[in-house]
Structure 1
Amino acid sequence: MSHDPPRRPAGRLLLTPDDKEAPARTERLRRLGLGKRPEPALDAFAGRLAEHTATPYAMVNLPDEQGQFYAGLHLPPAAPPARPDGGTRPGVGRRLPRDHGFCPHVLARRKALVLEDVRDFPRFAGNAIVDEYGIHSYLGAPLIDSTGTALGTVSVADVTPRTWGRSGLETIKQAAGELVVRLERGTEGGLPL
């Protein structure tokens, strides 16, 4: 039995880490009343984060066993940029497969991930989010609650390379820390964001 990682048709490695915490995360999110539907308060949080970081995309990702789910999402108002071949890119929706994007890596690492230009990293350059959506930079941090469960991630992304620096890293870590407290403190009438 071969243990070689699967390869993309272009020969790029697919290195999405296993998500061993998915069952526990799904159960914890269920107990918190999260992860099944978009949350207007999380959309607003993502909007404020996008504005603060001057990025077109901001997400609150609460993945389950089926894949990624953006309970909070901020998208640019304009259509996605054209592909280099002249075609159009798909719009980002609330759900993405696990192998799209970088949030699964943040969950596996359980710490922030800073990618100023994802194309500089062979492990990430071949990700479908780069080719399909034109994402070239990413900044994300895990949402680790008081039980030690990684509930998901908070992230921002851009279609151009970005120099995030220490201030970007501190911003995303602070946003994640503040949000996870609010998620645990959530009320039936809505999230206190």
Structure 2
Amino acid sequence: MSYDPPRPAGRLLLTPDDEEAPARTLRLRRLGLGERAEPGLDAFADRLAEVTGAPYAMVNFLYGERQFFAGLHTPTGGPAALGGKPELGRRLAREYGYCPHVVARRKALVLEDVRDYPRFAGNPVVEEYGIRSYLGAPLIDTAGMVLGTVSVADLTPRPWGRAGLETIKATAADLAGRLEHREAGGPPR
């Protein structure tokens, strides 16, 4: 038996372990997902941003120690600078943001004001990108594998409420079905 020392809590945030990462990586590769931007997923993120009124919307796939936004909506329509903050691009380290928590928990996460939650307030996206609210749900296929997430974020606190939660869960379930259809050789619906 090996001993892995605990990771330091740093800013009260521990990125959760992801035991499904190797299997997810294989599954995503079979589906041809998470290695490049996809216009269809960008359009999906655009619609999600419009429906929720959020300035940022993402379709995110996690590979080991990194995240990739295959679908991305920003206020300028692409990766954008956030008022002097670094550019929000398609790749992030796994310890950034809240999607790794959604994947590990296997359920939606609603953070109306991330500063209200000590565990999440210290995330690097708060200081580096100015993110103040988050709403995300897992993309779970019919075999029960979490492929990634669908999420939205804002630079101000947002009362997402039950309607926001139901919207993000429904859009995640819809997209998960469409992604699986790709494997069956059919065109994306």
Q: TM-score w.r.t. structure 2 length? A: 0.91
Report the Cα offset of residue 152 of structure 1: 0.2
The aligned residue for residue 114 of structure 2 is 118
Q: One-letter code of the match for 1:145?
A: D
Are 2:96 and 1:100 equivalent residues in the alignment? Answer: yes
Report the Cα offset of residue 68 of structure 1: 0.4
Q: Deviations over 1:77-128 (max 9, x none)?
A: 195443xxxxx20111111000000000000100000000000000000000
Q: Identify which of 5, 8, 15 aligns with 1:6.
A: 8
Shift of the 90–174 alpha-carbon distance from structure 1 to 2, 3 Å rule, reads same
The aligned residue for residue 53 of structure 1 is 52
Report the Cα offset of residue 186 of structure 1: 2.1
Looking at structure 2, the residues matched to 106 and 57 of structure 1 have their Cα atoms a distance apart, in angstroms, of: 17
Looking at structure 2, the residues matched to 190 and 29 of structure 1 have their Cα atoms a distance apart, in angstroms, of: 17
Q: TM-score w.r.t. structure 1 length? A: 0.89
Looking at structure 1, the residues matched to 56 and 182 of structure 2 have their Cα atoms a distance apart, in angstroms, of: 24
Secondary structure at the counterpart of residue 55 of structure 1: coil
Alpha carbons 2:181, 2:187 under 8 Å: kept: no
Report the Cα offset of residue 48 of structure 1: 0.3
Shift of the 191–39 alpha-carbon distance from structure 1 to 2, 3 Å rule, reads farther
The aligned residue for residue 44 of structure 1 is 43
Q: Percent identity?
A: 66
How many corresponding residue pairs? 184
Alpha carbons 1:5, 1:14 under 8 Å: kept: no
Q: One-letter code of the match for 1:23?
A: P
Shift of the 92–181 alpha-carbon distance from structure 1 to 2, 3 Å rule, reads same
Q: Deviations over 1:41-94 (max 9, x none)?
A: 000000000011011100000111241011100011195443xxxxx2011111
Q: Identify which of 151, 156, 174 aligns with 1:178.
A: 174
Q: One-letter code of the match for 1:36?
A: E
The aligned residue for residue 155 of structure 2 is 159
Alpha carbons 1:41, 1:190 under 8 Å: kept: no
Report the Cα offset of residue 146 of structure 1: 0.7
Secondary structure at the counterpart of residue 149 of structure 2: strand
Looking at structure 1, the residues matched to 111 and 70 of structure 2 have their Cα atoms a distance apart, in angstroms, of: 23
Report the Cα offset of residue 136 of structure 1: 0.2
The aligned residue for residue 140 of structure 1 is 136
Report the Cα offset of residue 30 of structure 1: 1.0
Secondary structure at the counterpart of residue 63 of structure 1: strand
